[in-house]
Structure 1
């Protein structure tokens, strides 16, 4: 079965932001179109507004002469645009002129303008003559052609002028109504042309900026994750920092820190219990040993003494586990040959009593290592004790040191099968269920070696017995 890959939060955010931006833009356009459709506004520039203000102000007097009333709308417009001028003509040739009409608009343009419904008259950019708007409009005096402008020259601007011009002509039916069936496809294409560049720019910007923003936002979370990956049994009390973690992730980090604290407390309680239990056992075990040694030398009493010794050894190993929590600051530089020779000398009487010869092979040169002396002594003691317990009670147990910082303990017993080389380092694992060992010695030795950046393994070879090698880094 194919393993499912975890989703990338970064690209999920990018895709969703692009879709959100596109949807927001589309909704905005739809709302604007709907608002314009409902309001049906008419946008007027200044010149068109002047014509619009004049439509309701044109009358005829009793003699049929054209006149312009000063309506409120026209008066307000003149106040806003004091330079406004206009020309009003009817079909009969009557006209009204007001303001400073430029000379160009006083000329006769022929019959073309009389047929125009509406138009904007303009000149080149370098020409100072102003634009004007002309429209054929229905007034109270009849159909009139009104030409108007808010200034007589382009020099009358206030410094900046912005003109926006857009013409939309929708297909119409014979009755003059809009033919949307023809207009909508073209309108859709126009809208797509206008929106597509915007969406592409927004999408490209999102693709470029969002990953960087997300990475920067999650930088603190990445650092926290790296620290979490380095937590092990020796740093169980560590608390992950939340200062640079995103606010949404902070509750998870707090919960993880609380879990770490509970685990550390539980581990410490467990260790204290084992230590206290081992200490409490030592006294009754010592009393039992003393009483057993006073018994007559019979097979049952000998087995009893051996069982008491095994129980005492197990209690000592439980106490040895307490040493794993010793800080690295307690280490010191020592002569490895001197340390190992001391352990070998301590176990020599026990090995001889068990039926072995004990040999010590020192290194030809001085080797210095930086270690916690008590921990290394206990690790080496467990290895030697393992050889005594499982070496077959015959032959020679050899403790050797080489120049690379390796310590080997060799026996001439039945050995350890190759398939069991790793299993014997597991806690409470024994090759022979009825053996005297408790199955903790080699496990403790490996943990101590690991604390010192060293290794411990069982060597393979054609020699008789087992060879266990502990390698420690040499101090140059």
Structure 2
């Protein structure tokens, strides 16, 4: 079955932000175009505004001569543009002039400009002569041409001049109506040319900045996830912090903390039950052992003593599980050789009684490890007890310590099949259902080794019997 890959929230946000920005920009342009289409505005620059102000002031006197009244609009415009000048001409050749008119505009422009509806007259950038605007307009005096500008020279500028010019001419049919079939493709290309750079810039900016912003926003969540990954059986009461977690994720963290608390409580109740049960069993087991030892030496009484011993060993292993909850601050640095020799001395009588010889091989150099002494001692004791129970009842059981922080327990029994090397570490798993062991010793030893960042494994080789090696980190 193909593993489903989780989606990256960061890149989902990036993609959606880019699409949202592009859609927002497109909607804004469409709405702006619609508003301009409905309003049909006309943007006037200064020279065109001068013509518009003069237009309402053009009239004729009682003799039919062309005059320009001093209207309020024209007076206000002159106040804002004191250098304004203009020439008003009608079709009969009459004209009215005002202001400091440059010589080039005082000439007759000929028939072309005389027939023009509107025109902008300008010169090269190095020429100081100003730009002017010409427009044929309808006034009280009839149709006239007005030529106007707000200054007589480019020297009169305020220091910065910005000219923006845009002309849009839509294809038309013979009757003068707009031909949109021809205009729309070109208009679409123009819009794409205008929009594409904006979309690319916005998309690139979003692509570069959003991941950093998202990572920074999720920094608290990432740290909380790292802390959650460090939770194990020894830190089951730990609670994840919610201070730096995003508000949307906080309910999930609270629910996780509550689940941890319930699991810790359940584990503690279960552990207390096992401990209490094991303690309660010790007294009746001791009474049974005493009474069985008083029986006559018969095969049935010997088997009864073995069964009682097995039951006593199981109760002890249940009590040993209490050791897993010992805090880490009870660790101290010891010589592994000393611990191994002490366990060998404790189990020598039991091994000899079961028919074995017990040998101890110390490390050639000091093997210093930082451990909870009681836990490691019980782990090693379970390995030795396992060898006594399953070593075949003969041969030599060897406890060997080396300078690499390793302890090996070897026997000369039937050994453990390779395919069972991992299974035997499971709780209550036994190779032979009728064996004396309870199936907890190796599991307890592995858990203790893991608590000390160590390992425990069954070695494979051509030798006879089983070799189980526990290795702990060495302190220099």
Shift of 1:231: 2.6
Change (3 A) 1:149 1:247: same
Residues 184-263 of structure 1 aligned to structure 2 (within 5 Å): 184-263=184-263
Normalised by the size of structure 2, how large is the TM-score? 0.90
Q: Which residue of 2 aligns with 1:407?
A: 407
Structure 2 gaps of 5+ residues are none
Equivalent residue number for residue 423 of structure 1? 423
1:180: which partner in 2?
180
Relative to structure 1, the CA distance from residue 159 to residue 305 in structure 2 (aligned partners, 3 Å threshold; closer, same or farther) is same
Q: In the aligned structure 2, how far is the partner of 1:439 from the partner of 1:373? A: 23
Q: How far apart, in 2, do the equivalents of 1:110 and 1:471 lie?
A: 109
Relative to structure 1, the CA distance from residue 63 to residue 267 in structure 2 (aligned partners, 3 Å threshold; closer, same or farther) is same
> Could you tell me how far 1:348 is from its partner in structure 2?
2.3
Which residue of structure 1 aligns with residue 156 of structure 2? Answer: 156
CA deviation string 1:285-343 (max 9, x = no partner): 32333344344445444433333322221111111111122233322333333322222
Q: 1:414 offset after TM fit, Å?
A: 2.8
> Given the two structures, how large is their TM-score scaled by the length of structure 1?
0.90
Change (3 A) 1:90 1:408: closer
Name whichever of 138-147 and 351-360 sits farther off.
351-360
Partner Cα separation in structure 2 for residue 129 and residue 365 of structure 1 = 103
Residue 165 to residue 461, structure 1, CA distance change in 2 (3 Å): closer
Distance 1:362 1:111 in 2: 122
Q: Please give the per-residue CA displacement for 1:269-292, whole angstroms capped at 9, x wherever unaligned.
A: 322222222223223332333344
Q: 1:400 to 1:152 in 2, by over 3 A?
A: closer
Query: 5 Å matches for 1:364-383?
Result: 364-383=364-383
Shift of residue 34 of structure 1? 0.4
CA distance in 2, matches of 1:375, 1:229: 25
Aligned length: 476
> After superposition, where does 1:43-54 map in structure 2 within 5 Å?
43-54=43-54
Query: What SS does structure 2 have at the residue aligned with 1:59?
Result: strand
Q: Determine whether 1:290 maps to 2:296.
A: no
User: Are residues 148 and 375 of structure 1, via their aligned partners in 2, closer, same or farther at CA, if it must alter by over 3 Å?
Assistant: same
Deviations 1:77-130 (A, max 9, x none): 334334332221111111222333333322223333211211112233344433
Measure, in 2, the Cα distance between the counterparts of 1:364 and 1:52. Answer: 110
**Alpha carbons of 1:391 and 1:43: their partners in 2 closer, same or farther (altered >3 Å)?**
same
Q: What is the rounded CA distance, in whole Å, between the counterparts of 2:406 and 2:126 in structure 1?
A: 97
In the TM superposition, residue 35 of structure 1 has moved relative to its aligned partner by 0.5
Structure 2 CA distance for partners of 1:124 and 1:276, relative to 1, 3 Å = same
What is the correspondence of 1:72-221 to structure 2 with a 5 Å cutoff? 72-221=72-221
Measured after TM superposition, the shift of residue 198 of structure 1 is 1.8
Alpha-carbon shift at residue 56 of structure 1 (Å):
2.9
**What is the DSSP-based 3-state SS (H/G/I as helix, E as strand, rest coil) of the residue aligned with 1:49?**
helix
How does 1:388-399 map onto structure 2 within 5 Å?
388-399=388-399
Alignment of 1:315-326 (within 5 A): 315-326=315-326
* Cα 1:14/1:337, change in 2 over 3 Å: closer
Q: Secondary structure at the match of 2:407?
A: strand
Question: What displacement does 1:247 show?
Answer: 3.9
Gaps of 5+ in 1: none
1:31 aligns with 2:26: no
Q: Sort the Cα spacing of 1:386 and 1:7 in 2 relative to 1 into closer, same or farther, 3 A.
A: same
SS class of match (1:111): helix
CA distance in 1, matches of 2:280, 2:227: 39
**Could you say if the C-alpha distance between residues 55 and 175 of structure 1 is closer, same or farther in structure 2, counting changes exceeding 3 Å?**
farther
Cα deviations by residue, 1:150-183 (Å, 9 ceiling, x for unpaired): 2333333333332211122222233333222222
Query: What secondary structure, in the 3-state scheme, does the structure 1 residue paired with 2:248 have?
Result: coil
For residues 186 and 418 of structure 1, what CA distance do their matches in structure 2 show?
Answer: 79
- Indicate the RMSD between aligned Cα atoms, in angstroms: 2.6
d(CA) in 2 for partners of 1:211, 1:341: 59
CA distance in 1, matches of 2:440, 2:203: 63
Aligned-pair CA distance for 1:264: 2.7
> Relative to structure 2, which stretch is displaced further, 43-52 or 407-416?
407-416
- Per mean C-alpha deviation after superposition, the further-off stretch among 380-389 and 31-40 is 380-389
Cα distance in 1 for residues equivalent to 2:462 and 2:367: 29
SS in 2 for 1:274: helix
C-alpha change, 1:176 and 1:20, in structure 2 (3 Å) is: same
1:68: how far off? 2.9
Per-residue Cα deviation, 1:357-397 (whole angstroms, up to 9, x for no partner): 33334445554433322122211211221222223333333
Comparing 133-142 and 210-219, the one that deviates more: 210-219
